[in-house]
């Protein structure tokens, strides 16, 4: 496991930002770290990077304790919050300064510019860059040490759809190259599309950790059906209910059945035996967002805001997502 924690806890006064967290993250691919705002995702990231110390418990990154981050710092790249660069300097000059401070060969600068798709833009001042380009430059900075583990906190935050697609493609490519990429995000569609493994925490407490396919096994499935003739709708509903399915009216022309995708043929056959022709049969499966909301609750906005404000006030380094 590239990251493991055992009873990891961080308190800010009476607030338990991370609460007795025990998990293991496998090596390779893209791992999603998700949870409602104020759930302590950034607090967890900062502990793993050695930026803040845990109140209790332990954790290991690349086999070394977070008590001695210098032992693994050279193998970890990170992007926390928005990347900070000198606007008047070029992308290459900004990265060159960071490389010099870390003792990284200058040749690595052009390599990472190429990795993030900024080849040919390295001589431009950063002030001309779009937000998406600045995010890619921030990822380039995190890639300078050629890290085994890359940790990115909300890398698509504030980006337009085109920028999100660019970052998504980049992260998928980095994960496919053999790196382990841990991505904190509140965008469920992004996590679902790029991650093989997901960690869900709710206000500091671990709700799930494992393959995303395993989490999606909890998703509900339903089948929407529409008869060819609206006059058959009432009889169709009656026939399906009598056959044991739970049926709901969805729209004027469509009814919905709580059933698995594999039941589609049986539903169609039942309708046909009753002399009813179906015009459409559509299988719907809950998205990761629906599973996430069912797991974490969707009515905790005020509590999340209170926790976020409390965390900001205690650590002085920005809200903990």
Give the residue-averaged pLDDT of 42-66: 95
Q: What pLDDT is attached to residue 310?
A: 55
**pLDDT value at residue 311:** 57
Same domain, 174 and 238: no
One domain for residues 73 and 171: yes
Whether residues 169 and 250 share a domain: the answer is no
Same domain, 275 and 199: no
If phi > 0 it is left, if psi is from -120 to 50 it is alpha, else beta; for residue 151 that is beta
Looking at the structure, tell me whether residues 199 and 69 fall in a common domain: yes
Question: In this structure, what CATH number is given to the domain that contains residue 266?
Answer: 3.30.70.270
Residue 317: its pLDDT value, please? 44
Query: 261 lies in a domain?
Result: yes
CA–CA separation, 31 and 1 (whole Å): 12
Question: What are the strands of the beta sheet with 247-249, ordered from one edge?
Answer: 247-249, 255-258, 221-227, 278-285
Q: What are the angstrom distances between the C-alpha of 87 and each of 91, 123, 128, 167?
A: 9, 12, 8, 21
DSSP state string for 56-92: EEEEEETTEETT-GGGTGGGEEEE-SS----TTSBHH
The verdict on 261 and 166 lying in the same domain is: no
Residue-wise DSSP of 272-303: HHTT--EEEEEEEE--HHHHHHHHH-S--HHH
C-alpha separations of 150 from 155, 243, 255 in Å: 12, 53, 47
CATH number of the domain bearing residue 199: 3.40.50.300
* Token pair belonging to 54: 């845990």
3-class state of residue 238 by DSSP: helix
Q: Is the pLDDT of residue 307 over 80?
A: no
Same domain flag for 232 and 132: no
| Same domain flag for 159 and 83 | yes
Residue 292 has pLDDT above 90, yes or no: no
321 in any annotated domain: no
Residues 32 and 140 in one domain: yes
pLDDT given at position 309: 57
Which domain does 95 fall in, by range? 3-216+290-315
Nearest-10 Cα torsion for 269, 271, 274, 275: -100
Query: Does a structural domain hold residue 320?
Result: no
> 52 lies in a domain?
yes
Residue at 99 is within a domain: yes
Closest CA to 175 of 185, 165, 167, 163: 167
Among 121-125, 158-162, 221-225, 235-239, which stretch is predicted with the lowest mean pLDDT? 158-162
**Rounded CA separation 97/125 (Å):** 14
Q: Provide mean pLDDT across the span 210-220.
A: 85
Question: Would 67 be classed as within a structural domain?
Answer: yes
**pLDDT reported for residue 301:** 53
In this prediction, residues 178-191 reach a mean pLDDT of 85
Q: Is residue 40 part of a domain?
A: yes
Q: What total number of domains does the chain contain? A: 2
pLDDT of residue 321 exceeding 50, the answer is no
10-16-20-26 Cα dihedral, nearest 10 degrees: -60
Same domain, 255 and 274: yes
In this model, does residue 100 exceed pLDDT 70?
yes
How many other β-carbons are positioned within 10 Å of the β-carbon of residue 92? 17
CB neighbourhood size of 282 (10 A)? 12
Same domain, 170 and 303: yes
pLDDT in tens, 244-289: 999 988 888 899 998 888 899 999 999 999 999 999 999 888 878 7
Tens of pLDDT, residue by residue over 78-87, are 998 777 899 9
Model confidence at 318, in pLDDT bands (50, 70, 90)? very low
Task: Return the pLDDT at 300.
Answer: 54
How many whole angstroms separate alpha carbon 136 and alpha carbon 315? 27
> 135 with 204, same domain?
yes
Mean pLDDT score of the chain, rounded to an integer? 87
Q: Each residue of 123-175: pLDDT tens digit?
A: 999 999 988 899 899 999 999 999 999 999 888 877 888 888 888 888 999 99
Reply yes or no on whether the pLDDT at 74 is more than 60.
yes
């Amino acid at each position: 496991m590239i990251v493991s924690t055992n009873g990891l806890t961080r308190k800010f006064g009476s607030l338990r930002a991370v609460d007795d967290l025990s998990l293991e993250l496998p090596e390779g691919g893209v791992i999603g770290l998700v949870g409602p705002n104020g759930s302590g995702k950034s607090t967890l990231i900062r502990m793993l990077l050695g930026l803040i110390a845990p109140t209790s418990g332990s954790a290991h990154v690349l086999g070394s304790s977070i008590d001695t981050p210098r032992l693994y710092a050279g193998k970890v790249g990170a992007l926390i919050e928005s990347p900070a660069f000198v606007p008047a300097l070029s992308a290459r000059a900004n990265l060159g300064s960071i490389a010099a401070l870390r003792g990284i060969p200058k040749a690595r600068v052009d390599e990472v510019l190429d990795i993030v798709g900024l080849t040919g833009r390295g001589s431009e001042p950063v002030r001309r860059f779009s937000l998406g380009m600045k995010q890619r430059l921030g990822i380039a900075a995190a890639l300078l040490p050629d890290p085994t583990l890359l940790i990115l906190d909300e890398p698509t935050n504030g980006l337009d759809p085109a920028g999100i697609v660019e970052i998504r493609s980049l992260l998928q490519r980095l994960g496919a190259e053999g790196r382990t990429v841990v991505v904190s995000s509140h965008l469920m569609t992004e996590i679902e599309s790029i991650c093989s493994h997901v960690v869900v925490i709710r206000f500091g407490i671990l709700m799930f950790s494992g393959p995303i396919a395993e989490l999606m096994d909890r998703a509900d499935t339903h089948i929407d059906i529409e008869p060819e003739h609206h006059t058959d709708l009432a009889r169709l509903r009656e026939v399906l209910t009598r056959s044991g399915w739970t049926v709901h009216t969805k729209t004027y022309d469509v009814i919905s059945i709580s059933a698995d995708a594999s039941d589609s043929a049986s539903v169609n056959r039942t309708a046909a035996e009753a002399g009813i022709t179906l015009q459409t049969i559509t299988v719907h499966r809950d998205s990761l967002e629906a599973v996430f909301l069912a797991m974490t609750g969707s009515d905790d906005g005020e509590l999340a805001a209170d926790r976020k404000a409390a965390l900001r006030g205690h650590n002085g380094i920005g809200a903990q997502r």
